[in-house]
């Protein structure tokens, strides 16, 4: 299946967020690991108080201000990494946080990285999926359309595919906005969408 091209990302953040559901996130170090994206959150730039870019560019968030298609990785709580897909045109400062995937390829490698025997709770959370795929700040600034280490591919959606929205998780501002997108009924979410 084809890799998503630059113009996919250069669009409205909420639209990109919704359309990322059901796509395949691929990460290659030695072995190819991948999973279907089942949960994301949109962070809409200067108008969104929960976005890192709300108060303008800093050392940490400068990749968010690149053009859509870049990969923004940051360290959270001193321990875990989170991956984002930058959206819209240069200088907008918007991105989509990938929160959970359904593991598809390289499951043994992911289990080893997570030190887990089961496939369950392997990648059902933003920090967990980065650990499973081996995503660190080294990948901050990669460009999904032409990177040889991380990219996103087209994938067929199941016939029962439905999108559900809910409030974003783990933030203290902008909590009323329904900008968390999930595949309805997926057993691979970080938590149910009620």
Burial code (b: 16+ CB inside 10 Å, e: under 16) for 8-43 equals: bbbeebbebbbbbbbbbbbbbbeeebbbbbbbbbbb
Let me know: does 105 contact 168? Beta carbons within 8 Å. no
**Residue 93: φ, ψ to 5°:** 80, 40
Q: Is 77 in the site for DNA (CB under 7 A)?
A: yes
Q: Is 120 in the site for DNA (CB under 7 A)?
A: no
What length does the chain have? Answer: 194
If the CB atoms of residues 52 and 70 are measured against DNA, the closer one turns out to be: 52
* Contact letters for DNA, residues 125-154 (x by CB under 7 A): xxxxx-------------------------
Q: Is 189 in the site for DNA (CB under 7 A)?
A: no
Q: Is 86 in the site for DNA (CB under 7 A)?
A: no
14-33 positions binding DNA, by CB under 7 A: none
What is the smallest separation between the CB atom of 138 and DNA, expressed in angstroms? 13
What is the smallest separation between the CB atom of 133 and DNA, expressed in angstroms? 12
Let me know: does 81 contact 88? Beta carbons within 8 Å. no
CB-count exposure of residue 49 (10 Å: 0-12, 13-18, 19+): middle
Task: State the residues that interact with DNA by CB under 7 A.
Answer: 41, 43, 50-53, 55, 58-61, 64, 72, 74-80, 82, 84, 95, 97, 114, 121, 125-129, 169-172, 190
């Amino acid at each position: 299946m084809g890799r998503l091209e630059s113009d996919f990302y250069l669009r409205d953040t909420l639209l990109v967020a919704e359309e990322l559901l059901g796509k395949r996130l691929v990460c290659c170090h030695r072995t190819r690991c991948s999973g279907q994206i089942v949960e994301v959150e949109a962070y809409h730039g200067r108008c969104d108080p929960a976005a890192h870019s709300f108060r303008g560019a800093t050392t940490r968030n400068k990749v968010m201000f690149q053009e859509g298609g870049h990969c923004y990785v940051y360290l959270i709580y001193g321990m875990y990494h989170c991956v984002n897909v930058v959206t819209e045109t240069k200088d907008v400062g918007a991105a989509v946080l990938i929160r959970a995937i359904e593991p598809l390829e390289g499951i043994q490698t992911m289990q080893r990285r997570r030190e887990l025997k089961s496939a369950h709770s392997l990648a059902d959370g933003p920090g967990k999926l980065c650990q499973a795929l081996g995503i660190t700040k080294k990948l901050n600034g990669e460009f999904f359309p032409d990177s040889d280490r991380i990219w996103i591919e087209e994938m067929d959606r199941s016939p029962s595919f439905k999108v559900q929205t809910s409030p974003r998780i783990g933030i203290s501002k902008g909590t009323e906005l329904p900008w968390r997108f999930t595949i309805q009924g997926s057993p691979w979410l970080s938590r149910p969408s009620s």
